[in-house]
Amino acid sequence: MNHAERARVDATEDSQKYISSVQRRTIVTLFVVYIVAGCGGTALLSVAAISADELTNSESLAGLATTMSTLGGAVLALPLAKLAAFRGRRISLSLGWGSAALGSLTALAGAHVGSFPGFLLGMALFGAGTAAAAQAKYAAIDLADDRNRGRTISIVFFGTTFGVVIGPNLTVPGAEIAGYLGVQEHLGVFLISSALCSLAAIIIVLFLRPDPLLLSRVSLASAGADEPKVRRKGYFFKGLKGVARSPRATAALVSFLAAHAAMTGVMTMTPVHMMHGGSSLSLVGFTISIHVAGMYVLSPLVGVLADWIGRGRTIACGSSILLVALLISALAGHDSHLIMVSLTLLGIGWSFNVVAGTTFFTESLDPSDRPAGQGVADLLMSLVGASAAALSGVVLSIFGFAALSVVSLLYLVPVAVVWLLYGVKGSGSPPNASSSEGDR
């Protein structure tokens, strides 16, 4: 090996070490941010419906608080993804959580003065935090390699666990703050949420350096690949076309969208069904808690599994778990024990599909299509969740909980169809058997 070749090897090794160190710092930063922002988001959403109910004196309108937050996240997902494509993740994520902080204050002001439209405007703006959280999981794997991409994204997902556990408990200090400010007891949480979302934005600005998305492009260019070009116009359709060009990305997208719809449809109306069956409020709360735990606690193991046996097989496992969960749910009636088992499995199945599906989706897209495709995926996920939640109330009120479980089970049919078609296109081999970076 001559001196020139040795220099190139040394430069490559130094570059890889540098990227690895940046990736470790990125994961730590995002993990902390997920905890901080998760606490703020969960705390606010735990009292948002109460505020809406007090403003309108209508239980049917109380759900608009969460709906507006979800729709706000859907509307802002693509603009934040586009901003990331041009300016990097740091600008996009900090702006998202900064907007959520402003939304919390706007909702607080609207609730305090008795303005329901003002309150809903704040909740819609708060949805920017949801869009930022969705995009942050992609930031976690901008610099990840094929061998540990699943584990990487699952570590960040795991940070959400702390948020959903700690967040609802912030209502107590929130009440003390509200008393000091002279506002309604539950409104103090809005101020805490704003502070935590602001802290998340500050952490991103200070510590998400260098920007993982921009550094990944430099890394690709140094490896001899063409630098991804991002168009300023037609961004949404560019994302759709990018997904459509990749059968693998399409299969992955369908997988986690279907899992999200199935999970959201049943989970949304389970508290109502349990209360109608005579369950106590504490039992309902415990059931939802173990469901959320199923969604996030096992995510590191799911990530390891996705890297070990492959993305496609992990998605198949997740879909099977969802199938079992929904069958139990359909047969549960008002048996609280069966409902708890069903909801726990539902959360675990969701975790399998979303962790493995998101990983497979990202690595199956051309680098130039990734930010746009990810924005489209986040937009569709929000819309699918909102639609499934809205439909679940109608189905439950007319046909009952068993029918709702069956309808949610039907959401999984497109997963089987898409993966079957993919297998046919892939020369009859299972998705994971056809090699490439997406399957390792």
Taking the C-alpha atoms of residue 59 and residue 81, their distance in angstroms, rounded to an integer, is 35
Same structural domain, 131 and 272:
no
Range name among 215-229, 246-260, 377-391 with the lowest pLDDT average: 215-229
CB 267 within 8 A of CB 346: yes
Same structural domain, 250 and 108:
no
Same structural domain, 375 and 250:
yes
Fill in the DSSP letter of residue 175: H
Same structural domain, 313 and 188:
no
**Residue 366: pLDDT over 50:** yes
- Which of the listed ranges 145-149, 159-163, 232-236, 329-333 does the model predict with the highest average pLDDT? 329-333
**Residue 419: pLDDT over 60:** yes
Q: Count up the domains in the chain and report the number.
A: 2
What is the reported pLDDT for 117?
A: 93
Same structural domain, 366 and 313:
yes
Same structural domain, 248 and 170:
no
What is the reported pLDDT for 231?
A: 54
Is the residue at 280 inside a domain? yes
**Residue 318: pLDDT over 70:** yes
Structural domain that includes position 409: 234-440
Which CATH number belongs to the domain containing residue 346 in this structure?
A: 1.20.1250.20
What is the reported pLDDT for 374?
A: 86
Apex 218 CA angle, 212 and 222, nearest 5: 140
Residue owning tokens 């937050």? 69
Last-in-domain residue among 187, 215, 243: 215
Average pLDDT rounded to a whole number, residues 134-149: 84
Taking the C-alpha atoms of residue 179 and residue 3, their distance in angstroms, rounded to an integer, is 72
**Which region, left, alpha or beta, applies to residue 58 given φ > 0 means left and ψ of -120 to 50 means alpha?**
beta
Same structural domain, 158 and 248:
no
Average pLDDT score, the chain: 83
Same structural domain, 167 and 297:
no
**Per-position b or e across 176-186, b if 16+ CB within 10 A of its CB:** ebbeeeebbeb
List pLDDT tens digits, range 35-54: 999 888 877 876 777 788 78
Taking the C-alpha atoms of residue 392 and residue 404, their distance in angstroms, rounded to an integer, is 6
Q: In this predicted model, which residue has the larger pLDDT, 216 or 169?
A: 216
List pLDDT tens digits, range 116-127: 999 999 999 999
Same structural domain, 136 and 198:
yes
Taking the C-alpha atoms of residue 25 and residue 32, their distance in angstroms, rounded to an integer, is 11
**Residue 200: pLDDT over 90:** yes
What is the reported pLDDT for 110?
A: 93
Same structural domain, 29 and 127:
yes
Same structural domain, 138 and 249:
no
Is the residue at 228 inside a domain? no
